[in-house]
Structure 1
Amino acid sequence: MVTVFRVEAIDDRIAEAVRRLVPQLSAALPLPSREALARMAASPSAALFCAETGGEVAGMLSLAWYDVPSGRCAWIEDVVVDAAARGRGAGRALVEAALEHARCIGADRVSLTSSAARSAARALYLSCGFERCDTTLFRRRLGQ
């Protein structure tokens, strides 16, 4: 059985789970500091959800939202399920929890991106009602 919860405060268990899960998302990503996680947990415009199976954190998902003239938008980021727990419904439960939260905060659309290499994740998103958009994502890094 999978249980999903919104992280309200960062404790050792959550911090360790994030340190374990982030490299499974991408080895190139830096590990977030505990302070960065605490800022996210306290943010009025972001939420961190964790999926738990058998008493262990098996996955996580971030949801952020913002208001623009065309309405409230929400964006799903950093979806990852531990390799040992995949195929048991944690990813779907996380996405469904994020969609429900987006509805509750008044978002009228939820977006996400997914690498072409992540075929199982892309199939999950399609099965959850997401549609491919005919658009191109542009990014500019602002660091050094």
Structure 2
Amino acid sequence: MEFEIVRVEAWSEALAGELARLLPQLSAAARADADRLRALVENPCTALFAARTAGRIVGMAALAWYDVPTGRKAWIEDVVVDEAARGRGAGRELVAAAIGEASRIGAGRVWLTSRPARRAARALYRSMGFEAAETEVFVLKLDRQ
């Protein structure tokens, strides 16, 4: 199966529908919010990549970046490939596209997180040169207070 990796340049209802189908495969709690997706596509500090085959989106990855005194930071988020298309290289191509964009915009490092249960994804990231960081990520869930 061949994939075309594209940077999503414009939001549409059709795009929102396709991403709504993918996001629950990332996490049972993940839902596509049309306003959030529109803001993501229109934000100058984010990039959304889609893997397409046969006219259908079968995967996605988001890249977000920001500047702090220690440099430009970039994070890859929400990498998901449709279950029927997994194991055929779409995830690798999506992550490679995000890494390429991070390099282009001058990020010194690219970060991502992945739950331990996502063994295949973690193996992919390691095979692409990602290493476990010597830090812990802390979270404060403001939406649950």
Would you say same fold, with TM above 0.5?
A: yes
Amino acid at match of 2:11: I
Structure-1-length-normalised TM-score: 0.95
Distance 2:37 2:114 in 1: 22
Structure 2 partner of 1:2: 3
Q: Which residue of 2 aligns with 1:24?
A: 25
What letter corresponds to residue 37 of structure 1 in structure 2? L
**Displacement of 1:132 after TM fit?**
1.0
Give the equivalent residue in structure 2 for 1:15: 16
CA distance in 2, matches of 1:95, 1:103: 12
3-state secondary structure, aligned to 2:76: strand
**Secondary structure of 1:44's aligned partner:** coil
Identity of aligned residues (%): 55
Task: Tell me which amino acid in the other structure corresponds to 1:64.
Answer: A
Aligned to 2:101: 101
CA distance in structure 2 between the partners assigned to 1:34 and 1:117 by the alignment: 28
Structure 1 alignment gaps of length 5 or more: none
Aligned-partner SS, 2:142: coil
Q: CA RMSD in A?
A: 1.0
Match of 2:58 in 1: 58
CA deviation digits over 1:98-121, x for unaligned, max 9?
000001111110000001000000
Partners in 1 of 2:4 and 2:129 — Cα distance? 21
The number of equivalent residue pairs is: 143
What does residue 128 of structure 2 align with? 128
> Is 1:112 matched with 2:89?
no
Q: Deviations over 1:41-72 (max 9, x none)?
A: 01011111101122211100010000011110
Q: After the TM superposition, which segments of 4 or more aligned residues of structure 1 sit over 4 Å from their partners?
A: none
TM-score by length of 2: 0.95
Match of 1:129, SS? coil
Whole-angstrom CA distance in 2 between matches of 1:38 and 1:50? 15
Provide Cα deviations, 1:2-21, integer angstroms capped at 9, x if missing partner.
11111111123311111001
